[in-house]
Structure 1
Amino acid sequence: MGTPVLKRFMTLAGLASVLIPLLPAVVQAAVPAAWVQNSADHVFSTSSPPARPTTSIALFAARGEYEAAQVLYRPASAATGVSLSATALSGPDGTSIPVSEINVRRQYDHPDVILHGDGIDLKEYEVPPAGGTSFYDALIDNTPVSVAANYTQAYHYSVHVPAGQRAGVYTGSVTVKSSGGDVLIPVSVQVYAATLPPADQSTLKQNNWFASVGWDYKGAELAIPEQYADAAAYSPNWWKVIASFARNQAKHRNNVIYADFQALLIPDTTIDAAGNFSFGWATFDRFVKLFEDAGAMQYIYTPTLLEPHPVQGGSRPMLEMLKRGADGKPQKVLADPNTAETTAYLKKVFPALKAHLDTKGWTDKFYMSALDEPTEAAQVTAATWFYDIYTDYFPDPLTNEAHGYTFLPGAAENITTFTPYTENYEDHTGYWQDQRLKGKELWLYVCIVPWDYQVNRLIGMHLAKSRLLPWLVWKIGGKGFQHWGWNYWAYKPDGEFRGYDTFDGPQNGDSYIVRPDKARYDVYDSVRSEAQLDGAEDYELLNQLAAVKPVTAQAIADTVITDIATFERSGQAVTERHKQILDALVSAEAEPQLPYADDFSDASSARQWLVPINRANGQQESSWSVAGGEFVQPQISAGWDKAVANLKGRAYRDVAASVDLRITGVSNSGGRENWAGLMVRNLSGTEIDTGYLIAQRDNGEVFVVRSGTTLARAAVPGYVAGQRSRLRVVARGDTITVYAGANAAPLLTVTDKAYKAGDIALVTGGAAARFDNVKVNPETNPAEGRTVTATSSYLGDGWSPQGAVDGERGSTAGAMGWSSDADLATDHSESITVDLGSAKPVSRVDLYPRADAGNVGRGFPVDFTVKVSADRTNWTTVATRTGFATPGAGARTFPFPTADVRYVKVEGTKLSRDSNGHFRMQFAEIEVAGGNLAAGRAVSTSSSYEGDGWSRTALTDGQTRSALGYSMGWSSDGASTATATVDLAGPTRFSSVVLRPRTDGEALGAGFPVDFTVQVSDDNAGWTTVATRTGQTRPGVAGQTLSFTPVTARYVRIAATKLAADPVGDPRLQLAELEVR
């Protein structure tokens, strides 16, 4: 067996086949004519069945959601009459999802998709298996067709779950019908007890600009009449098309309608010879009402009214205004801004607009926009004039503008909502985030660019990118997404509009995501529009999850997308995360705690860290590696926002994080101002402009920065350049406390409400650095960094009350721990109390003796008690020791039945002497444990596959949601039996073991043991069986809890004697997590 075989099911070679082998397949005697693939990966007419094809559809959906899969049909000989026939889906207690909620469409193979040349040059793109430029995109009618031999015809099977649907599993089928014989494909849809809001009540504001009238007054106005017969503007057929747009946009959650109010005024407005206006709103109202009635209108967005001069461009912006034409009718003209004429016009049209919107109840839904992608200072000046007049009539306006490559903060100051292009956002994240934190809304947009290694929705790109656009918005704390081209039916924006063929003509996917259904005056969707719909639904579900479990939501998102270039290209991975969001939403389980500790003694540690991808070349932004027992970033030239290593797939709220760091070189630019440190709570784990940057400069200064703003700074006493220094951050609630160097007292304390949860990362700015002893404690030890009181305390030489909870288990110069300091000549009583901040379930207290050379165990009390309390008034003694022998190094553990505890007190009534003969009570550290007692503990196994997210350490890393390449859990490797042992690091009282299965999509529960025992031991030699299972079936997400009479033991072992198959069919023991409670 060995590694090569295991990699068949855990390593992804290529993107088209990613994770397909993980899905359970129906065993067939021959290669099937039909198989199934997820809806977020491209398929091609030259695609062949994978080695283990999936032959059933399994979908997972919230109520109100659309979910889909692709069915591929590839006959060995030519077939005729090919179509798909779907049945209704039967559910619990006679409920059903009717056929009317199921949509089957044939995919159209477009022969001339442009990847390079003619104004586009993709750096990252997909290549059909047989080469060429044919891509499936449009979804057309499921009418019977002929399919040639060895040609793969793709279909899109979609189910809409009504909002009131009962939760449960619904089953049915879809049949591929053809002259070659029918192929039955079973279908199951699991409906969760979670509900998406309708499109017009969404939290995501989605604005795909669509062509109707106005806007640019050229291609936008030609789009409909050039594609549909007898569909001139405002004709009956034109209105029929607009109604179709409204229905489609409601389905696809495009809830910001692009309506040019000035253009829609033209049919009903009169202007007399003296220039007096009589504004008519009937056409505007009819237009908007179609979208409102369809459920697509949550907001109205009017096209920009300040346009570049046709010749002079942005250096001379022009106002679009209505004037009386030679024929006496209103027409759109361009006029210089800030003249008597244009000022008078705005002072007429704006109050009229406000009064009308008020009567319709649309004022708070209306976005005004002056500029599109401003580049010149003159545009900023014109926009300031424009908005100054606008706000006279709209005192609390909604305003929004797209910002392209050019960074013009002056233009941004005028508006309430920002929509930067993704590269503009990345290059100026600190500014955009600072504005967001000040209360302005942040959106993102893409258009023909980016072409490189970023998300976009061009046809030749990985289909998953279309789905990930709303995920990226969510990751940055954004509220909206914008794209300029929903139905701008031309090959290029400045190209030929007349008679353009949207199916067989040259195309790249920029200017449209739907195509005209000419016969029905409707539109055809595309695989990209459906993927983007899925992403919008994911956004809503992420928001629902973040409202109750922000850490879970962030952690799931981190395993899909980290920043604009660092993300999963696999649609299967995104589909699996969608299911994990749903599972987390309906689960009653608490947020995960994801402890981490690493001394980098093993080079494989580097796999735990994610380095951002350069958007231009697809390579890592900086060089990180494990060398000499440290994690090393050797480049002094790496930019201040580039040299980041993110702790993969993990997120934190209340957390203590520490690292030993040593700056080994600095760039000439900045010199000793350059730095190294930690990121805490950043939204995108591979950048430094969200969350909090806490770093040490090479000149000895430590600082806290949030989105470009310095919150605090101070010099570290005793800092020596080039020497190792410890940096520790404790973030709890709105308080961030920073400790640095050999100082137990806090160096900096900051109160800030901006970022509540996020990632952890190591980072350097213009410096080369070496990192060691990274520790991340997400309240698994809730004593760290807490308030300590003591009957007496020695302050000096590294001793202090805070030293007892500084996260350092040993005793080193500057970090010795705590020591009493009273009545040194006589034996007496001393006590130390830790306040955990709030009551927590606790079942163990660990006392670490001092461990400095020659003094190991000195100062540890001889007679003492451990007491706990919820209120500091009523105390319960949970441990009593008399005549306690001088301990060696390492924790002395005191277990007890779980109790709700806020205060922990150790009271020594007989003390030992220190090296000077003085009676003292001394501890290097006091720790507290409760809940999952296995979290972060050491694991040993009979065998282990190490790679692709599988590892021994992942068995107790707190991650229960499997993600390939991040944390899958642990897998045995190459034997018919398997064991895994957790060392709880001391005697521990517990009464259950929870075994969590792998949870990656349809591989859920694979490799879960069939026959096994749970055993306990005090010494890792003699074992007692506390639970036995035989014939265990494949479990669901919750796994199996094995309960037993409470025991006290140090070691816990699962021993499996009969293994289940992994997704490839090999026997393995695979668990996402082992918990001890």
Structure 2
Amino acid sequence: MTQKFETRIVHSLVKIFPDQELAETAAASGAALLNEVFSYQVAYRSKHLMPEVKVTAESGIGDRITLRSVGLVPSEYPVQHDHDDNMLRTTPGLYPDPLLPLNGDGVLRAYPGQWRSIWITVNPQNEVKPGLYPIVIRFESASGDKLAEERFELEIIGASLPKQQLLHTEWFHTDCLTTHYHTEAFDEKHWGLLRKYIQTAVEHGVNMLLTPLFTPPLDTEVGGERPTVQLVDVEVTGEDGYRFGFDRLKRWTDLCDACGIEYFEFSHLFTQWGAQHAPKIMATVDGETKRIFGWETDASGEAYRAFLNQFLPQLVDWIRENGLESRSYFHISDEPTLDHLGSYGSARNIVKDLLEGFPIIDALSDYDFYEKGLVENPIPANNHIDPFLEHGVTPLWTYYCVSQYKKVSNRFFSMPSARNRILGYQLYKYDVAGFLHWGFNFWYTQYSKRVIDPFRVTDAGGAFPSGDAFLVYPGEEGPIESIRMEVLREALQDLRALRLLESILGREAVLEALDEGLEEPITFSSFPRDADWLLSKREWMNGKIKEHIHKSAVSS
């Protein structure tokens, strides 16, 4: 290192480690559509400690630009022991992930000899005219001396991404907000936080939200329970008699409408991994709040069956009264295995007629469930999706989580960002209807035994590789986003750009172009690994869109 202060522009798919030399070449230009969020980075390194470095952005679209500092968080468990070789590193240490707001003066600290970066986000929001816009990022010392500046040219292309067709849910853990921010469930502070987190999810392509009719029976220790977050009021009126209230659920759906949520997935009606018990359900009994169902409840027993026979018809009536029929989805149980065919089938039979006409979706990877008619809308993991594709299952969703770490796309800290972003191309090629992930903001240890600080514990207490359990961090006033969340949004934008290109060239031409020049066609387990392929393919797409705009202008 010869200079006192070095800077370099790099694209958004670079993860910059403080203890690693920066090998990526500079990238000084890019392009985005009128309603597309565009991100890039400016890396910096100081020879000496500089406690105060001021960073500013200068551009004709400066009001559309946000600067954030890429923070470092620890990972004690980066990846499983038998991982594949498509990894950045596998050792424990500090990994770049949270996108931290700069203070009001745009001041950051530069550590001696460490590469760090500023994350630049441009959001045109359909309010910037097509054209070329220079962006200058300037670094100054505490005394006002210029340390460095980097110029980037962003082209805004005169076309808009079409509306997202993909149904996308990142499971929203309402109770994690109550425990981290020390609120009561659904008090006014909680509602305010819910709004901020839901808005952030929507801005990043989430259009379906896990809705806790009752406390979701997810990642809960057998015999244990998670904090109560129950939207439906229940009152016991007599033996096997119940009265239900939906006021809180109405406030939830109204809030979701205001934030842009389009679909509701009502929380699972039976416990995870087998559908053998009822979820925790709280009710007013003789004026006192008590738990009336839970782990002690046999899912197929008469008591819970009687409850569902009363509750679900009233819920369905409420859904119809509020015009939500086409926006409502249900779950039975998460991730059942072949050992649970009997209990899952029994649970399905209990609710099948009660939920007639509503889609039931569940994450499960054994084709037998679909073949035996136990689930009409399966969500197989991306490493178990082939049998479903071979049999032409439609509509078909997919998901990934802790177990999907060989050959397929995922988003652990230790993985290249290209392995995150390739998902958009895969979803397009196979015309996937929906994508599910379990961890938007899971800030507990495995089985929800303890609360964790996600800035210090990023692996759910040593259970899941860092990057699996959450996409956002809890800031003082609301969510702090992550590199992984921004790159996932880029993947969904690629998917929408492919849909736009399909409307211009036709689907067959787009599919042919995706695989052009590759040794193997793109599948869920075979895909280009390097970021350059992704960026060049998107550049090609942008070029075709611009050609179409030009031809349309000439012909008119």
Q: Same fold (TM over 0.5)?
A: yes
1:553 to 477, 491, 510: 510
Structure 2 equivalent of residue 168 of structure 1:
131
CA distance in 2, matches of 1:104, 1:150: 22
Q: Aligned ranges for residues 733-748 of structure 1 at < 5 Å?
A: none
Shift of 1:32: 6.7
Task: Indicate yes or no: 2:74 matched with 1:122.
Answer: no
1:497 to 434, 447, 450: 450
CA distance in 2, matches of 1:373, 1:283: 29
Q: Aligned ranges for residues 609-628 of structure 1 at < 5 Å?
A: none
1:209 to 163, 171, 176: 171
1:291 to 253, 256, 275: 256
Q: Aligned ranges for residues 979-1058 of structure 1 at < 5 Å?
A: none
Aligned length: 517
Q: Aligned ranges for residues 127-142 of structure 1 at < 5 Å?
A: 127=88, 133-142=93-102
Is the CA contact 2:211–2:264 (under 8 Å) kept in the aligned structure 1? yes
Tell me: CA distance 1:377–1:112, structure 2 relative to 1, closer, same or farther (3 Å): closer
Task: Indicate yes or no: 2:168 matched with 1:224.
Answer: no
CA distance in 2, matches of 1:556, 1:184: 38
CA distance in 2, matches of 1:382, 1:265: 25
Shift of 1:265: 5.4
CA distance in 2, matches of 1:268, 1:370: 20
Is the CA contact 1:174–1:185 (under 8 Å) kept in the aligned structure 2? yes
Task: Indicate yes or no: 2:121 matched with 1:158.
Answer: yes
SS in 1 for 2:52: strand
CA distance in 1, matches of 2:369, 2:35: 40
CA distance in 2, matches of 1:75, 1:106: 15
1:516 to 474, 485, 508: 474
Shift of 1:248: 0.2
CA distance in 2, matches of 1:496, 1:82: 42
Structure 1 equivalent of residue 391 of structure 2:
434
Structure 2 equivalent of residue 356 of structure 1:
318
| Counterpart residue identity of residue 318, structure 1 | H
Structure 1 unmatched ranges of 5 or more: 1-28, 90-96, 213-220, 590-1036, 1039-1077
Shift of 1:174: 1.8
| Counterpart residue identity of residue 305, structure 1 | L
Task: Indicate yes or no: 2:24 matched with 1:63.
Answer: no
Task: Indicate yes or no: 2:381 matched with 1:421.
Answer: yes
| Counterpart residue identity of residue 168, structure 2 | Q
SS in 1 for 2:153: strand
Shift of 1:496: 4.6
SS in 2 for 1:318: coil
Q: Aligned ranges for residues 607-646 of structure 1 at < 5 Å?
A: none
1:464 to 418, 424, 443: 418
CA distance in 2, matches of 1:382, 1:540: 39
CA distance in 2, matches of 1:387, 1:32: 65
1:280 to 236, 245, 255: 245
| Counterpart residue identity of residue 110, structure 2 | V
CA distance in 2, matches of 1:63, 1:451: 35
Shift of 1:576: 2.4
Tell me: CA distance 1:167–1:113, structure 2 relative to 1, closer, same or farther (3 Å): farther
Structure 1 equivalent of residue 224 of structure 2:
none
Bigger share in strand: 1
Tell me: CA distance 1:275–1:409, structure 2 relative to 1, closer, same or farther (3 Å): closer
Is the CA contact 1:83–1:178 (under 8 Å) kept in the aligned structure 2? yes
Shift of 1:30: 6.4
| Counterpart residue identity of residue 134, structure 2 | T
Is the CA contact 1:113–1:459 (under 8 Å) kept in the aligned structure 2? no
Structure 1 equivalent of residue 218 of structure 2:
none
Shift of 1:586: 3.3
2:348 to 377, 381, 384: 384
| Counterpart residue identity of residue 554, structure 1 | L
1:344 to 295, 306, 315: 306
| Counterpart residue identity of residue 473, structure 1 | L
Tell me: CA distance 1:515–1:338, structure 2 relative to 1, closer, same or farther (3 Å): same
Shift of 1:31: 9.2
Shift of 1:515: 0.6
Task: Indicate yes or no: 2:46 matched with 1:75.
Answer: yes
Structure 2 equivalent of residue 46 of structure 1:
19
Shift of 1:351: 1.7
CA distance in 2, matches of 1:275, 1:331: 15
SS in 2 for 1:86: strand
Is the CA contact 1:397–1:416 (under 8 Å) kept in the aligned structure 2? no
Task: Indicate yes or no: 2:141 matched with 1:178.
Answer: yes
CA distance in 1, matches of 2:513, 2:292: 49
| Counterpart residue identity of residue 485, structure 2 | S
1:34 to 4, 7, 16: 7
Deviations for 1:752-794, whole angstroms, at most 9, x for unmatched residues? Answer: xxxxxxxxxxxxxxxxxxxxxxxxxxxxxxxxxxxxxxxxxxx
TM value normalised by structure 1: 0.45
2:327 to 351, 356, 365: 365
2:499 to 540, 543, 557: 543
| Counterpart residue identity of residue 489, structure 2 | L
Bigger share in helix: 2
CA distance in 2, matches of 1:433, 1:193: 39
Structure 2 equivalent of residue 256 of structure 1:
208
| Counterpart residue identity of residue 333, structure 1 | F
Is the CA contact 2:439–2:468 (under 8 Å) kept in the aligned structure 1? yes
Tell me: CA distance 1:585–1:250, structure 2 relative to 1, closer, same or farther (3 Å): same
User: Identity percentage over the alignment?
Assistant: 17
CA distance in 2, matches of 1:488, 1:575: 31
CA distance in 1, matches of 2:245, 2:371: 32
Instruction: Say what the alpha-carbon RMSD is for the aligned residues.
Output: 2.8
Deviations for 1:245-282, whole angstroms, at most 9, x for unmatched residues? Answer: 11101110111111122346556332323443332112
| Counterpart residue identity of residue 156, structure 1 | W
Tell me: CA distance 1:496–1:343, structure 2 relative to 1, closer, same or farther (3 Å): closer
SS in 2 for 1:283: helix
| Larger RCO (CA within 8 A; separation ≥ 6) | 2
Q: Aligned ranges for residues 643-658 of structure 1 at < 5 Å?
A: none
Tell me: CA distance 1:506–1:256, structure 2 relative to 1, closer, same or farther (3 Å): closer
Shift of 1:417: 2.3
Structure 2 equivalent of residue 962 of structure 1:
none
| Counterpart residue identity of residue 513, structure 1 | L
Deviations for 1:837-859, whole angstroms, at most 9, x for unmatched residues? Answer: xxxxxxxxxxxxxxxxxxxxxxx
Tell me: CA distance 1:424–1:139, structure 2 relative to 1, closer, same or farther (3 Å): same
| Counterpart residue identity of residue 178, structure 2 | P
Deviations for 1:332-368, whole angstroms, at most 9, x for unmatched residues? Answer: 6143344443333222222211221122221110111
Task: Indicate yes or no: 2:210 matched with 1:245.
Answer: no
Tell me: CA distance 1:267–1:371, structure 2 relative to 1, closer, same or farther (3 Å): closer
TM value normalised by structure 2: 0.85
Task: Indicate yes or no: 2:64 matched with 1:107.
Answer: no
Task: Indicate yes or no: 2:361 matched with 1:400.
Answer: yes
Shift of 1:325: 6.0
Shift of 1:132: 5.5
CA distance in 1, matches of 2:88, 2:299: 49
CA distance in 2, matches of 1:415, 1:333: 25
Deviations for 1:371-398, whole angstroms, at most 9, x for unmatched residues? Answer: 211212213422431342234xx4x322
Tell me: CA distance 1:409–1:329, structure 2 relative to 1, closer, same or farther (3 Å): same
Shift of 1:225: 2.9
1:307 to 250, 271, 284: 271
Task: Indicate yes or no: 2:336 matched with 1:374.
Answer: yes
Is the CA contact 1:45–1:152 (under 8 Å) kept in the aligned structure 2? yes
| Counterpart residue identity of residue 185, structure 1 | E
Shift of 1:286: 1.5
CA distance in 2, matches of 1:249, 1:484: 13
Tell me: CA distance 1:432–1:171, structure 2 relative to 1, closer, same or farther (3 Å): same
2:406 to 439, 449, 452: 452
Structure 2 equivalent of residue 271 of structure 1:
236
